[in-house]
Structure 1
Amino acid sequence: MNDTQEPAGAARNRRRRKGLLVLTGALAVAGLVWAVYEWQVASRYESTDNAYVQGNVVQITPQIGGTVVAIHADDTDFVQAGQPLVQLDPVDLKVALQQAEAQLAQTVRQVRTLYANNASLAAQVRLREADIGRAEAEVRRAADDLKRRQSLSGNGAVSREELNHAGAQLAQAQSALAAAQAGVAAAREQLASNQAQTEGTTVEQHPSVRVAAAKVREAWIATQRAALPAPVDGYVARRTVQLGQRVAAGSPLMAIVPLHQVWVEANFKEGQLRKVRIGQPVTLTADVYGQKVAYHGTVAGLGAGTGAAFALLPAQNATGNWIKVVQRVPVRVALDPEEVARHPLRVGLSMDATVDVSRQDGKSLADAPRPAAVAQTPVFDLQDAAADAAVQRVIAANLGRAPARAAAPSGSRTAALDAPVHGAH
């Protein structure tokens, strides 16, 4: 019986050893596979599903207050840059513009009068100088008469009364000469005072004209701001404005989201950032399309702080019982514009991001300022150009020439008015 049991026990031992060998081999193979995976895959990639599509949300706010009379775009509409979105009542603004234009026209004519007065005041100076010449001649004549009578008074040929009369005439002539000299001084002061207001400038560049022109520009731009244009191409969202609503400057009316300029904000754990560098390739998938659509991007930058550091209510770790919480840092991922155009994304969509960290030649933080503007629109530049044209039209109309004429003839009155005045003439 013992002989029968011994072979059975040996067989069980053999099977046990065989099973242990198989298990040991399986564990060894699994460890090898895991090591190869860790070396070839896991150590080369960092992944997170805490990633979301971000984009610019351009707020449309009026620069002036007014009553809404028209709304040209609604939620989900696509608008192009420069397209009108909201129209405010422009009646009061047009009245203000007309008043500013009238004031500018009056100022131009007043300044023209200053330039014209230079010639008349210079003529007054010359006239007063001629009066001095006549007064001096009269003084010399009266002095000669007095001297002649004084020489004859010794022999009784000239009476005392006649001699006194000649002396009185000389004193009167001297008083007239002093008055003429004072008149010349006053005329020269008036000319200098008028020239001080016109010297070294033209009618268009005169300070009074420039102040009035600035009022016209301000009123003109205000009339243009009654129409709110779209600063960028995009889709309308969050429209809150209604017809007849009285809006104040800065009130949010709607938003425009340019979906062709979106990016992904992937929030990686602290330990995942050791090898993340700017410029590394990123593969992303969106829940809205699934695994069948893959986006390819690059790491554009790493956040300057964790999400908790910039939260509205940051954590106060120095109070109460403290529990360590792994922090996450936002990593900005730039997307391929062509892929976004083929498969549009919306702001806020969930994404899965995988970064290939095998390349370590990049930097973890940007070390140079951005070479160009992040965003820029030329929509509002046209308002300044139109305002300048309106100012030039008013000035030219009140200078006595048509706006289309580039320059007046050299000998014309307009050219003389436009020329800078230096000193007395």
Structure 2
Amino acid sequence: MDNNQTSSTEHNTDSNPSRSKRKTSFLILFLILLVIGGGWFAYYQLYGKFSQETDDAYVDGDLVTLSPEISGTVSKVVVDEGDYVEKGQVLVSLDNSDAKVALQEAEAKLGVAVRQVRSLFAMSDYTKAKLDTSKVGYNQAINDYKRRQIIVKSGAISEEDLTHYSDQVDTTKSQYIAAQQEFKMSTSLVDNTVIETHPAIKAAVAGVRKSYLSYMRTQIVAPISGYVAKRSVQLGSRVQPSSQLMVIVPLHQVWVDANFKESQMKDMRIGQPVTLTSDLYGEEVEYKGEIESLGIGTGSAFSLLPAQNASGNWIKIVQRLPVKIRLQPDNQEQYPLRIGLSMVAKVDIQDTSGKVLEQTPQTEAKYNTNVYQDILKDADKLVAKILLENLETSSTAAK
């Protein structure tokens, strides 16, 4: 009896510390969970609910396709894939023999046109002088005839002489009328124009410009600075207008397309700041940006075969909307991005004062290049030179 009681007492004594330890462990675990929950709640209230994050984001950018504007045979390829090119740099050259001959022919036609138009103006001046001369002769013949009419009564001259003067009036009148018609015809060819604005000159000038453009377009230049990708042009190949030679990617103008769930976009606005990281460089490298535009529709809405949700087996799927994020230049030189890289985007949605959609129309060009504008300026210089040379010829000859 005493042994059983002693044994029971020892068992109770051993179990009490175990229960106490378990209670302490549960209490510690509860406190840890409480701290974690409180920390998460505080984080959500202070920061978490003011941001939206997605890893469905990718780098995108312009893919500028380089194409010839004329047909030709490739004689030179300056760059290869991965090379950096500057705006206006010659990348591909076409054989320019035919274009050079056509330009020389157009220059000659302009020179001939200038000389022909000069002769038209000279003819107009000549017919004007001839008209004035015939008019003087006609008036003189009328005056002579009238004087002879007065003196014929006195017998100083015979009727036959008077008839002769009458015939002279008719002859000079016919000559005067013919000179008038000739003057009208010559004037109609140059009326209301000068040599530079004559239609024949304009047509010849247009021919020179067209031939000059074709000649200059044998040198295919880069419309924008960037890196060469997808080079398909080969030496000796015959290329046609609109055929793709290569692609230029301006990596300094890339952006990020982030696809957010529709439930995440309630408080997103244009202009909200965005923090981004790439899988290429890891979380140590951060990029800054801001929302440039919010998607106009989901990807499925613009797909080739949109989903038909009116069917009886419809299942609701959370849709995603594309958000275009404009990147700031920070870190892009040291850590350049490439087209198609995966990104993680976190949007700060605390400030909701921005617009959901743009309300004002875009009136200025977002993208432009001036590498093609100087070609016409050079063509105009060539035209002016040809005009001056052929106009000065007449002045020199006159002197």
Whole-Å Cα distance in 2 between the matches of residues 182 and 324 of structure 1? 99
- Please report how far the alpha carbon of residue 95 of structure 1 lies from its aligned counterpart in structure 2 after TM superposition: 1.5
Q: Deviations over 1:16-51 (max 9, x none)?
A: 988887777666555433422321232011000010
Is the aligned partner of 1:122 residue 2:128? Answer: yes
Whole-Å Cα distance in 1 between the matches of residues 120 and 323 of structure 2? 66
1:100 alignment partner AA: A
2:67 alignment partner AA: T
Whole-Å Cα distance in 1 between the matches of residues 131 and 88 of structure 2? 59
Aligned residue for 1:123, secondary structure, equals helix
Q: How does 1:147-166 map to 2 (within 5 A)?
A: 147-148=153-154, 166=159
1:219 aligned to 211, 219, 234, which one? 211
Inter-CA distance 344–190: structure 2 relative to 1 (3 Å threshold): same
Whole-Å Cα distance in 2 between the matches of residues 379 and 114 of structure 1? 40
Q: Deviations over 1:376-402 (max 9, x none)?
A: 21211110111001111111111126x
2:209 alignment partner AA: R
2:325 aligned to 329, 333, 347, which one? 333
Partner of 1:395: 387
Partner of 1:278: 270
Whole-Å Cα distance in 2 between the matches of residues 345 and 30 of structure 1? 37
Inter-CA distance 396–288: structure 2 relative to 1 (3 Å threshold): same
Partner of 1:288: 280
Partner of 1:385: 377
Partner of 1:239: 231
Whole-Å Cα distance in 2 between the matches of residues 82 and 13 of structure 1? 83
Partner of 1:344: 336
Whole-Å Cα distance in 1 between the matches of residues 286 and 24 of structure 2? 47
Is the aligned partner of 1:357 residue 2:363? Answer: no
Whole-Å Cα distance in 2 between the matches of residues 46 and 397 of structure 1? 71
2:98 aligned to 92, 100, 109, which one? 92
Aligned residue for 1:69, secondary structure, equals strand
1:139 aligned to 145, 153, 158, which one? 145
- Please report how far the alpha carbon of residue 202 of structure 1 lies from its aligned counterpart in structure 2 after TM superposition: 2.2
Whole-Å Cα distance in 2 between the matches of residues 396 and 188 of structure 1? 33
Aligned residue for 1:53, secondary structure, equals strand
TM-score, normalised with respect to structure 2: 0.88
2:110 aligned to 104, 127, 141, which one? 104
When structure 1 is superposed on structure 2, of 26-35 and 53-62 the one drifting more is 26-35
- Please report how far the alpha carbon of residue 339 of structure 1 lies from its aligned counterpart in structure 2 after TM superposition: 1.6
Q: Deviations over 1:147-167 (max 9, x none)?
A: 345xx9xxxxxxxxx9xx82x
1:374 aligned to 366, 375, 391, which one? 366
1:136 alignment partner AA: I
Partner of 2:253: 261
Partner of 1:404: none
Structure 2: runs of 5 or more not aligned: none
Is the aligned partner of 1:66 residue 2:72? Answer: yes
Is the aligned partner of 1:75 residue 2:74? Answer: no
Whole-Å Cα distance in 2 between the matches of residues 372 and 139 of structure 1? 78
Inter-CA distance 261–226: structure 2 relative to 1 (3 Å threshold): same
Aligned residue for 1:301, secondary structure, equals strand
1:173 aligned to 165, 171, 190, which one? 165
Maintained 8 Å contact 2:288/2:330: no
- Please report how far the alpha carbon of residue 303 of structure 1 lies from its aligned counterpart in structure 2 after TM superposition: 1.9
Partner of 1:159: none
Aligned residue for 2:115, secondary structure, equals helix
Q: How does 1:14-33 map to 2 (within 5 A)?
A: 29-33=35-39
- Please report how far the alpha carbon of residue 330 of structure 1 lies from its aligned counterpart in structure 2 after TM superposition: 1.0
Q: Deviations over 1:260-296 (max 9, x none)?
A: 1111111111011111111111111111111111111
Whole-Å Cα distance in 1 between the matches of residues 168 and 330 of structure 2? 94
- Please report how far the alpha carbon of residue 169 of structure 1 lies from its aligned counterpart in structure 2 after TM superposition: 4.9
Whole-Å Cα distance in 1 between the matches of residues 150 and 311 of structure 2? 113
Whole-Å Cα distance in 2 between the matches of residues 320 and 392 of structure 1? 75
1:182 aligned to 168, 174, 180, which one? 174
Aligned residue for 1:338, secondary structure, equals coil
Q: Tell me the C-alpha RMSD between the 2 structures.
A: 3.1
Q: Deviations over 1:173-196 (max 9, x none)?
A: 334323322322331232233334
- Please report how far the alpha carbon of residue 142 of structure 1 lies from its aligned counterpart in structure 2 after TM superposition: 4.9
1:193 alignment partner AA: M
TM-score, normalised with respect to structure 1: 0.83
Whole-Å Cα distance in 1 between the matches of residues 345 and 37 of structure 2? 27
